[in-house]
Amino acid sequence: MGQNILVDEIGYLPMDPKRAVYRGEETLQFSVIDKKTGEEVYGGVTGREIYCKAAEEKNRIISFDALTEPGEYYIKAGDEESVTFEIKDWAYRDAMKSMLKFFYLQRCGTSLPKEHAGIYAHDKCHDTDARIYGTDTFKNVSGGWHDAGDFGRYIVPAAVTIADLFLALELDPDLAKQDFDAPVDYPEMGPLLSEIKYEIDWMLKMQDEKTGEVYHKVTCMHFCDFFMPEDEKDELVISPTSYAATLDFAASLAMAIKFFKPYDAEYAAVLESASKKAYDAAMKMEVKSFRNPEEIVTGEYGDEGLEDELYWASAELFRAFGDEKYRKTFEEMAYTHISHGYGWEDVYSFGNVAYILSEYPLDETLKNIIIAAIDAKADSLMTLCRSNGYNVSFNEKSFIWGSNMYLIQNACHLYTAYFFTRKEYYLEAAIEHVHYIFGKNPCNICFLTGYGTNRVMNPHHRPSAAKKEPMPGMIIGGPDSGLHDPTAEKHLQGMPAAKCYVDELLSYSTNEITLYWNSAMICMLAQFTKDYKERK
Ligand code: G3I
Ligand code: 9MR
Ligand code: ZN
């Protein structure tokens, strides 16, 4: 069996466009075969050749939109056969649950019982007070979620993670009720909000009560070995406060208020005052990127451009509170420069969306300018989709550390553009990005752990390594042509950008996982779900 028909290994929804990719030299007849009966249920000819520079391949699209009957299938063309996939109503339900559960499994400062965590059960971890860097003062900053394959807890990525999850909840309110087999601390809030509260309770502890500034992160001085979290016993150190952490904290907590208010007005008031205090504190801070203190070598999240953090926070606080000062700051910035981004580094899009959706009176002209900018950016993504063999908005320069997240965020952008312009083709393009992540990609692998026939087996994730079993429900970073770790350097020399991925434990630059890669995918799938329900 060849490896040259790439499909979404999780599946396709009955009424959606369905595409697979054939890579090879010639045009071929293809058949879609029903796994149960062995019969051809659909047939056709592969599409025109697209040279995909990023993958250095000749690709041809296989379309089988007309096949809507639920079932298990595979595709045959020449000597090639794809893996089995499903056509199923809301085929991603289980994947979504497992991606949500991941947050629970990343919990720090508590023990995880077997009943919910299975083999990843562990004792209470990281529960000693942490030393504030450069002082002899200790502070309780327990709780929150481990950021990634390491056990650090960092404010900047935490803020975008919860922001993604709030956007998801806003787009698909049903998500709030989705059960994901984790204990629910506040049942009235529903599982997801309750889980997010676990992270926010930690974030609140990371604010300096006196100044309102927010500490950048809490980690040990070094990354530890591959063991379970409770075995990391080195001293916990709180790194200095940073401008980005302070504003991201302000923005994401402002976003949180309206979700918690109906259940807990007092908590909402705490969030409001923490958010405002952080914003005011940031106004007095030096606008400077965070740099690791000399002895601390854990993740830096040292963002270079910091305008977007102020842009986002101003928009979000304006949306939450309506004050002129936030509005003015945002509008002045937006009239000068509109940009995009849903990542930890570039958070412009959160700001754009917050402003447009604000219920307080705003500048309608500016609102339309922002929508036009979103539309224009989506249009440029469409151009990329057309020249990519997998119909995704990437070229050979796009494969940087965490490329899967950038790809997912492009899809979020396409959805956002669809939301404001109703141009159907944005929606169809976005869906191809979902399929890419789940297996229709040049690496021929499903980038969600625990899913697909071709699975990721060695994610850079300490609990998975310690238990010798990949934790399911994690979105992998994906190809990075920068070869940013020795294992990538060893295995991927000379590979095309889109194939710079290796399923090795030590390849942290291609095979790690993070909170914000999962939340990005959840946010995209939530939009997809909502939209799917509307179309049905
Ligand atoms: O932004 C530039 C872009 O302009 C340039 O074209 C491109 C070329 O390589 O590089 C881009 O920067 C990259 C940046 O990620 C993009 O987000 C950097 O090279 C790359 O080094 C950087 O990687 C970050 C990595 O930490 C190293 O700092 C990842 O985004 C970030 O997700 C990752 O985060 C780590 C934490 O530090 C620790 N915990 C695990 C987590 C995941 O790996
Ligand atoms: O495990 C660490 C991972 O979370 C980070 O993303 C990565 C880059 O900062 O570093 C990993 O830790 C490695 C360290 O940088 C170098 N020595 C080996 C560590 C484990 O692979
Ligand atoms: Zn921990």
Query: 183-223 pLDDT, tens per residue?
Result: 999 999 999 999 999 999 999 999 999 999 999 999 999 99
Ligand 1 first shell, C-beta below 6 A: 147-150, 152, 299-301, 345, 400-402, 482, 484, 508, 512, 514
Q: What is the DSSP string of 177-238?
A: G---SS--SSGGG-HHHHHHHHHHHHHHHTB-TTT--BB-EEE-SS---SS-GGG--SPPEE
Containing domain of residue 216, as a range? 105-362
Residue 376 lies in a domain: no
Residue ranges with CB less than 5 Å from ion ligand 3: 108, 125-126, 229
Give CA separation, 250 vs 214, 244, 334, in Å. Answer: 9, 10, 19
Query: 77-94 pLDDT, tens per residue?
Result: 999 999 999 999 989 999
Check pocket membership of 232 for ligand 2, CB cut-off 6 A.
Answer: no
**Centroid of ligand 1 to alpha carbon of 14 (angstroms):** 37
Radius of gyration of the CA atoms of the chain, in A: 23
**Centroid of ligand 1 to alpha carbon of 401 (angstroms):** 5
Catalytic center residues: 150, 460, 503, 512
Check pocket membership of 150 for ligand 2, CB cut-off 6 A.
Answer: yes
Residue 350 lies in a domain: yes
Check pocket membership of 176 for ligand 2, CB cut-off 6 A.
Answer: no
Domain count within the chain: 1
The answer, yes or no, to whether residue 31 has pLDDT greater than 60, is: yes
CA of 406, nearest ligand number: 1
% of residues, the chain, pLDDT over 90: 96
Asked if 360 and 314 count as a contact pair (C-beta separation under 8 A), the reply is no
Dmax of the chain from CA atoms? 72
H/E stretch holding 95: helix 93-105
Mean pLDDT on 501-518: 98
Residue 530 lies in a domain: no
Residue 252 lies in a domain: yes
**Centroid of ligand 1 to alpha carbon of 302 (angstroms):** 9
Residue 119 lies in a domain: yes
Check pocket membership of 512 for ligand 2, CB cut-off 6 A.
Answer: yes
Point out the ligand 2 atom lying closest to the alpha carbon of residue 149: 4
Strand 217-219 versus strand 237-238 pairing type: antiparallel
Residue 444 lies in a domain: no
Q: Read off the pTM.
A: 0.97
CATH number of residue 329's parent domain: 1.50.10.10
Query: 426-444 pLDDT, tens per residue?
Result: 999 999 999 999 999 999 9
Residue 236 lies in a domain: yes
Q: What is the pLDDT of residue 1?
A: 56
**Centroid of ligand 2 to alpha carbon of 179 (angstroms):** 33
Residue 457 lies in a domain: no
